[in-house]
Amino acid sequence: MISGIPAVLVGAGLLLLFMLLGMPVFVAFMLVNLIAVFVLLGPPGFGMLASSFYETTTSGSLVTIPLFILMGEILFRSNAVDVLFRSMDELVGHIRGRQYVLSIALATIFSTLSGAAMGVAAMLGRSLLPGMIARGYDPKLSAGNILAGASLAPLVPPSVLVIIIGTLAGVSIAGLLVAGILPGLMFACLFLLYTFIRVRLNPKLAPESETTDREVTASDKVMAVVRMLPFSIVIISVMGFILMGIATPNEAGAMGVIGALIAAAIYRRLNYRMVIESVGSAAMISAMILIIMASSKLFSQLLAFTGGASALTEWVAAMEYAPWIMLIILMALPFVLCMFIDQIALMLIIIPIYKPIIEILGFDPLWFWLLFLVNITVGGMTPPFGYTLFALKSAWTEGSLMQVYGAAWPFVLLFLFGMVLLAIFPVLATYLPSLL
């Protein structure tokens, strides 16, 4: 019987092969599990396959996934996009490069509301980017800002990827959700700082003066804030209730859905058809994610059964490298793989392998898994295969893929710089969770 590290290599190798052949990710997991159970346990082991589906889809912590998705679906159908767009446009003052600020702010807010980097990149690529270029803004810097802002989606709560990591790694989901707030803001500030420095060094990157349709008065700015107030209902319903200890992440997810419905009612978009479409779409996306998770459950159990996970842990423990070298090694693998493989699929393969290793290394789990989350997020916008790049390219028809690649690289480096800051100052990730 194959066991130890070869078992891990064969299992992960088969999985990657099936995925690269274009099979649906959940089918790849099911096939590998079927083959592995047949080879290792024979037909008596098939009951484990059935049970793994049951255990995953009745897991209480995963209920948050459809609830967060539903919240985003309702908000996107409730005029939220138009309101945010108009309000932020009025709030950003007359500074040189104001549209860059607008693009980062909008991408960050939409990412917070939707949790989907690809969706935000595509939407802003279609709506904001052409206007920016027409007004004389640098196409690459504009596209880069949108890509980077959109890529904050998995980091800023509410985030579906956080729920998946928390569940698989056995880390507090509430803690991990809250841990993403400060790093998310830090990254947004880094992008703004970088953009301002670039504009300062090369003023041609932004037009000297922008003519707006009309002068924005102080009362316009107050109204812009008032218009955005309904979103605070959603934010309080989710993060407020978790931070105050009133609701679990699951219950906060349900409260967030109620908050989103109230926001839709305030914007006069609440109707039966909108609600049904939102729930239908959320059910489809949730089923897609959860069926992958259910199919992959047995994979991690088989890793343990073959002794692969423990052999790998012992091997890593015997390396005796300095912890920071181990951290770089552990981060390099998902960074590279995420350019080729779907983020969720990658997490399902890697987290069960990494979990015992980080225990041996003595890393703070919240800090490590947050770094891991940032890492796979960057993988999604790293050339040549990052998914978010293709989403932006498909929306930005005038731009070439090489332009998108060129736009992404500076921000990938900024993300890596931010990761170094997070690694050196773990308090950025652990301070807010320590208040819970």
Partner 1 sequence: MTIKQSLGLANVLRWHDLMSRTFYQLGIFALSSIVVIYSYEVISRYVFDSPTRWASDFVSFLLLITVFLVMPWLTRAGGHVAVTVLNDQLPERGRQVMLRGGYLVGAAACLCLGYIVFLETWRLYERGTGTLTTVSIPKWLLFALICYGLFNSGLYFLRLAAKCDVTESAEES
> Residues 161, 163, 164, 168: is their CA dihedral positive or negative?
positive
Q: Looking at 199, 341, 378, 407, which residue binds partner 1 (CB under 8 A)?
A: 341
Q: Residues 68 to 87: which contact partner 1 by CB under 8 A?
A: 70
Q: Is 66 in the site for partner 1 (CB under 8 A)?
A: yes
Contact 191, 104 (CB under 8 A): yes
Query: Is the Cβ of residue 74 or residue 162 nearer to partner 1 in the bound state?
Result: 74
Which of 288, 291, 289, 299 shows the shortest CA–CA distance to 32?
299
67 binds partner 1 (CB under 8 A): yes
DSSP letters, 178-216, are HHTHHHHHHHHHHHHHHHHHHHHH-GGGS-S----SSPP
- Compute the least distance from the CB of residue 425 to partner 1, in Å: 35
**Contact indicator for 234, 75 with CB cutoff of 8 Å:** yes
Q: Which residues in 254-313 contact partner 1 (CB under 8 A)? A: 254-255, 257-258, 276, 279-280, 282-284, 286-288, 290-292, 294
The nearest distance, CB 116 to partner 1, in angstroms, is 12
- Smallest distance from the beta carbon of 348 to partner 1, in angstroms? 12
Can you tell me the distance from the alpha carbon of 431 to that of 436, in angstroms, rounded to the nearest whole number?
Answer: 10
CB of 207 to partner 1, least distance (A): 37
- Residue 366 amino acid letter: L
**Window 357-386: contact mask with partner 1 (x via CB under 8 A):** ----------------------------x-
**54 binds partner 1 per the rule CB under 8 A:** yes
Binding of partner 1 by 164 (CB under 8 A): no
* Least separation in angstroms between CB 110 and partner 1: 21
DSSP H helices in 202-307? 218-235, 241-243, 249-266, 272-305
**How many Cβ atoms from other residues are within 10 Å of residue 336's Cβ?**
12
Question: Which residues in the 227-246 window bind partner 1 by CB under 8 A?
Answer: 246
- Is there a contact between 104 and 147 (Cβ–Cβ < 8 Å)? no
Distance CA 190, CA 414 (A): 7
Q: Which stretch binds partner 1 (CB under 8 A): 24-32, 137-145, 404-412, 414-422?
A: 24-32
Closest CA to 157 of 246, 84, 239: 239
Closest distance to partner 1 from the beta carbon of 165 (Å): 18
CB 195 within 8 A of CB 104: yes
Task: Give the range of 98-106, 147-155, 176-184, 342-350 binding partner 1 by CB under 8 A.
Answer: 342-350
Eight-class DSSP state of 382: S
Burial 228-256 (b: 16+ CB within 10 A, else e): bebbebbeebbbbbbbeeebbbbbbbbbb
- Cβ at position 227, least distance to partner 1 in Å: 26
Instruction: Say what angle helices 139-150 and 181-201 make with each other, to 10 degrees.
Output: 170
Q: How many residues bind partner 1 (CB under 8 A)?
A: 56
Q: Which stretch binds partner 1 (CB under 8 A): 83-91, 210-218, 327-335, 337-345?
A: 337-345
Alpha carbon 49 to its chain centroid, in Å, reads: 29
Of 8, 11, 12, 26, the one binding partner 1 (CB under 8 A) is 26
Q: Exactly one of 14, 40, 41, 59 binds partner 1 (CB under 8 A); which one?
A: 59
Residue numbers of the site for partner 1 (CB under 8 A)? Answer: 19-27, 30-31, 34, 46-47, 49-51, 53-54, 57-60, 62-63, 66-67, 70, 246-247, 250-251, 253-255, 257-258, 276, 279-280, 282-284, 286-288, 290-292, 294, 340-342, 344-345, 385
